[in-house]
Structure 1
Amino acid sequence: MAKRYKVHRNAALLWTGEPDFPDAIDKAENTLVYDEAKVDEWVKRHKPGLWASGQKSAKDLGLPEGNDRDLLTLEEIGELEGAFLGREATPVETLRTYLSPSKGTMPGPDREPGDGGKPEVEERMWFRSTAYDFITRPRKVRRKKTESTPTAKKKAPATPRATVSEAALPTGSSSDLLTLKEIAELDAAARGRSKPLALSSLATYRSQGLLAQPDRVPGDKGQPEVAEEMWFRSTAYEFINSRRKPGRPSKA
């Protein structure tokens, strides 16, 4: 699971503790075995951004393949998002609310009428790569509330533990690239601390396997080119989230 969805083993282990996570189908020595299709379905439903990272192509995502610079309208993006999520198309009116500065969920258009670009466009349009990053973005999942029986004794509500998605952290595409320094600053913000982790501490976490190895390195021929080691936002947030969870492994 960790390898396929590019997350740390601790993050994958936390998933298995979720109430609706598929049950294990077998046990090999000390390793639990899960049904691949059911796990893939769960990850797609709860963590579509990470699910997308585990697919090999746009076709595997249920999205049509094409050039990254193909231009798409809001209506087309809504139809593609509906297909990706297995539901009706997202209304254009809803997508427009995602463009508002207060939400900032959706990036602004790559092309606008009169911008001098070629070909000329008559309405706001987005590159296919921009649209697909938006469609496969990490999403918050609302959990269903369980009703207590009338005879059940109500417990005092526990203080909820904030997750990365609830913290005052920047939103963005799961494939955004972050440096080690940026990860340290985001980790500090998520934990309510003013002083970020020392880079030497992050190096230790890497050696222990708590922080995944970089998703991009100089000379790896990926695009865009990078001048230093960098991590996807999804990889960084999984690491930050694992440090906020109770029972996480302590630093050696």
Structure 2
Amino acid sequence: MELQALLEKAEPILRQAGELVRSIPHPAVYSKEGHANFVTEADMASQQFLMEHLSPLLPEARFFAEEQEENKMAPGFNWVIDPIDGTTNFIRGYQPSAISVGLVKDGQGVMGLVLDLGTGELFTAVRGGGAFCNGNPLQGAQAPLENAVIVFGTAPYYRELADATFAAAKELFLCCGDLRRSGSAALDLCHVAAGQCDGFFEARLSPWDYAAASVILREAGCPLDTLPGQAFSYEKPQAILAGSPAVYPALREIVGRCLG
């Protein structure tokens, strides 16, 4: 199936998954390995729904999903799923949370869909086809670094990365407009693509956190990569840096030096 046609069939599936998640306002919560690392029955219901309904669209595709016990990127197509990105926010009723579905083919991101569970905004892109939010085209902002809003992540289960993360945040704070921290990397990255903020970094993200948004960002004209000197991959956790063309070089230099 042609990618644009596939995207059009996947969009209502994400919206239906969002309705399913919102229908479970007080889900049971379970702890996973690591400090403050949670999963809820809503995560599990969302993931099961997505896998069941995406599978017929592309029968040859495999699944690489957060709440799946074993994940290995297979040759060909792989759906990369985060059933709820920002689970802690979702548990607490704090708005930024999303469903993120990316499609990777032979190591290359080719499609991304991110549904904001609070606003209902659906960010989408296919490789070579541009990036959109609810059908409206996206393009990164042009603000210079001194006026830029930078968002960043601090996964609580990687406490060993705290010093380097906050060193980078402090240095950026002293030369940019301001900093933000939302708790949903997928939405942060989409907001960079939409020009609502200008840069993003996190010291370690799993592929399901950035697979969909990476396609959306790049189609909006914004670079995304891992640390300088390292190879970007959809197969393992890694640092993620992204930004508008105006901000990305300085972001990459500062964060690369602090985290490298």
TM-score > 0.5 by shorter chain: no
Instruction: Give TM-score, length-normalised by structure 2.
Output: 0.24
Instruction: Give TM-score, length-normalised by structure 1.
Output: 0.25
More strand by share: 2
